[in-house]
Structure 1
């Protein structure tokens, strides 16, 4: 049920945006207000690009406080509709775009340019129309491609997590085992014989992924301190000579 709702959200959002594209009075833009039209086009594309980059970074960093599966499809659909509105506004000027008569024609030409098919039935002849076409191609290569890659990565990770939800979750047995290795005590609190082999005493400040706070020093229940290093042959000979000299000069014990 949750997956159906996750798919219904982007579908409903895209349907609402397409409906608004066909119903909004976009005919007031174009040749009548060229400066306002270019400003709105630049602001809309910059806003969509910034939001897309934010979602791509969230996917790359693995942040879970965002919903790229919902936001990225809506932003991609919005960018397509922005370019379709620009083509519809440019088609009102004679000699700019041949073949665009309705808003559906503008949306069709946007999708054809996005897919790099190029049927040739609609061609940009004016300089402004060619500029917007080049801008759409670059926008697709940079932003929409990165967004589609991030979306596919997010969906693949979600599918793997759904197939194996306990894959990245630490097991309770592993948590108890790591606690015994670090603290030197079992679950009851009794000392566990043996040394902390996996986690040295200088690095035992916690176990990653277990949520356990280990002590700064690990109690060693194994053998005692190490023996001092053995002296060299010359040192042993000197010590033997000194002991013999001491015995020779030592006075004899008093007789009873």
Structure 2
């Protein structure tokens, strides 16, 4: 329930907050700081997963909380870029178009109707693709490890640990 409320709040903020500032170097700094905050949120989630009575469920809630922040951070950046430098993308973008483009990049389905045209847009898109790999690969590994460790701490059998060997290193 908390994840659903978080998603609703973040979406409402994305659509309701005034995004009328120009795209500047400060925008890129905010984007980088936002990605760092998402990484810190995921690190905190790892801690809460290991301490949770239901680590698997807690991991799902953790992803459902962090992912909207990550996606909407990039969507807002793309929206500001298109407003400040029209023609950065193959189409003028509304907030919904920017969200659609961000999800297209995140899901790796490829570009269709909207694609980056300017160098800045291509650099930001490349940065998002890189961050996607990190979020999907590294974060997923840490979250899965936290689930396994949380289950091990509660005496729940963890696949691959049938020999009763030493606990995994933290």
TM-score (ref. length: structure 1): 0.51
Q: Which residue matches 1:22?
A: 15
Measured after TM superposition, the shift of residue 154 of structure 1 is 6.4
Relative contact order, higher structure (CA 8 A, sep 6+): 2
Query: Which has the higher Rg, Structure 1 or Structure 2?
Result: 1
CA RMSD of aligned residues (A): 3.0
Instruction: Could you list the structure 1 runs, at least 4 aligned residues long, displaced by more than 2 angstroms after superposition.
Output: 53-59, 62-72, 143-158
User: What is the 5 A alignment of 1:187-226?
Assistant: none
In 2, the alpha carbon distance for the partners of 1:101 and 1:124 equals 11
CA contact (8 A) 1:109 1:122 kept: yes
Equivalenced residue count is 151
2:89 to 90, 94, 97: 97
Measured after TM superposition, the shift of residue 149 of structure 1 is 4.6
Measured after TM superposition, the shift of residue 25 of structure 1 is 0.7
Q: Which residue matches 1:229?
A: none
Measured after TM superposition, the shift of residue 100 of structure 1 is 3.7
User: What is the 5 A alignment of 1:82-93?
Assistant: 82-92=73-83, 93=85
Deviations 1:192-217 (A, max 9, x none): xxxxxxxxxxxxxxxxxxxxxxxxxx
User: What is the 5 A alignment of 1:107-256?
Assistant: 107-151=99-143, 168=155
In 2, the alpha carbon distance for the partners of 1:41 and 1:168 equals 41
Q: Which runs of 5+ in 1 are unaligned?
A: 1-7, 162-166, 170-256
Deviations 1:82-140 (A, max 9, x none): 00001101111122112242100000000010111114211101111111101111101
